[in-house]
Amino acid sequence: MKKNRSQARDIMLSVISILLLVAVWFLVSGSRPDFFPTPMATVERFIRLIEKPIMGVSVFGHVLASLRRVMLALIASIILGIGIGLVMGWNKKVRAAINPILMALRPIPPIAWIPLIILMFGVDEFPKVLLVFIGSFFPIVMNTMSGVALVDDMYLKVGKIYKAKTWQMLRHVVFPAAMPTILAGIKIAISSGWMVVVAAEMLSSRSGLGFLINRGRDSYDVALIMVAMILIGVVGALLSAVFTLIERKMCGWMSKE
C-alpha cells in the first residue's frame, strides 16, 4: 500500500516536471517561432515526418538505422571488451602489457578519430560502426578488467579448495562475481555509443537521426532538428531503461543497498 502510494507520487512528480519543461519551451519559443519552433509546431513536424519520409526512409526507419549501427558496434565491443578485459583482469602480465596502450587510447574522444577513419575507410556503413565501437569498447574493457581484478579473494579461495580448473574458475567464480561491474560498463557503453552514432551520422549519411539533424540544418527546418533531437533523447532513455531491466534480471542476487 505504502509502496504503491510512493510510486504514484513519483510518477506524478515526473509528469509535473516534464509539463513544466514544455511550458518553459512554450514561453521561450513564443517570441521567435521561426527561430525556435513551439512544441505544437514540433509535434506537427513529427506527424508530417511520419507521413512523408525523407530519403525514402520513414522516421522509424531512421531510428532503426541508428539503432542498428549502435547494436552492431555494441555486439563487437561486448565480445572483444569482455574477452580482453577478462584476460587482462585475470593475468597480471597481460594487464601490464596492454594497459598502457588502453590508457593512451581511451582519452581520445571518438570524434577525434573521424578524419582518420574517413581517410582510411571512406564514409560507408563500416566506418560509422567503427566509430561507435571506439566509443563503446573502452568502458566495457575497463570495467571488465577492474571487475575481474577485484574479485574477492575469498571466492577465489573457495574455487581453489574445490579444485576448480582455470576455465571453471573463470566461468563459475570470476565471471559472475565481476558481472555487476561488467554490466555497469555495458550501460555506459550504450549511452556513449548512442551519442557517437549521432555524431558519425552527422558527418555523412543518408539515414539515421544524425542525418535528420543535418538535413534540418541544411534546409533551415528547425522543427525537424527539434524532432530528431527529442527522438535521440527518448530512444536513448528507452535503451537505458531496457538495459536496466536486463541488468536487474541478470543480477537479481545483488542486495538492494
* Residues near another protein (CB under 8 A): 154-155, 157-164, 168, 172-173, 176-177, 179, 251-255
At 168, list the grid cell: 571453471
- Cell 577525434 found at: 112
Give the nearest distance from C-beta 170 to another protein in angstroms. Answer: 13
Of 182 and 225, nearer to another protein (C-beta) is: 182
Give the nearest distance from C-beta 76 to another protein in angstroms. Answer: 26
Of 25 and 155, nearer to another protein (C-beta) is: 155
Of 154 and 241, nearer to another protein (C-beta) is: 154
Of 68 and 172, nearer to another protein (C-beta) is: 172
CA dihedral 225, 231, 237, 241 (to 10 degrees): -170
Of 123 and 251, nearer to another protein (C-beta) is: 251
Give me the helix-helix angle, 125-149 and 114-121, nearest 10°.
130
Give the nearest distance from C-beta 147 to another protein in angstroms. Answer: 13
Helix (H) or strand (E) holding 117: helix 114-121
Count the Cβ atoms, other than its own, within 10 Å of residue 252: 8
**Are 212 and 226 contacting, i.e. CB atoms less than 8 angstroms apart?**
no
Minimal CA–CA distance to 147: which of 167, 168, 176, 106?
176
Give the nearest distance from C-beta 162 to another protein in angstroms. Answer: 5
Of 114 and 170, nearer to another protein (C-beta) is: 170
- Rounded-to-integer distance, Cα 51 and Cα 46, Å: 9
**Are 184 and 146 contacting, i.e. CB atoms less than 8 angstroms apart?**
no
Residues facing 54 on adjacent strands: 57
Give the nearest distance from C-beta 148 to another protein in angstroms. Answer: 14
Give the nearest distance from C-beta 180 to another protein in angstroms. Answer: 9
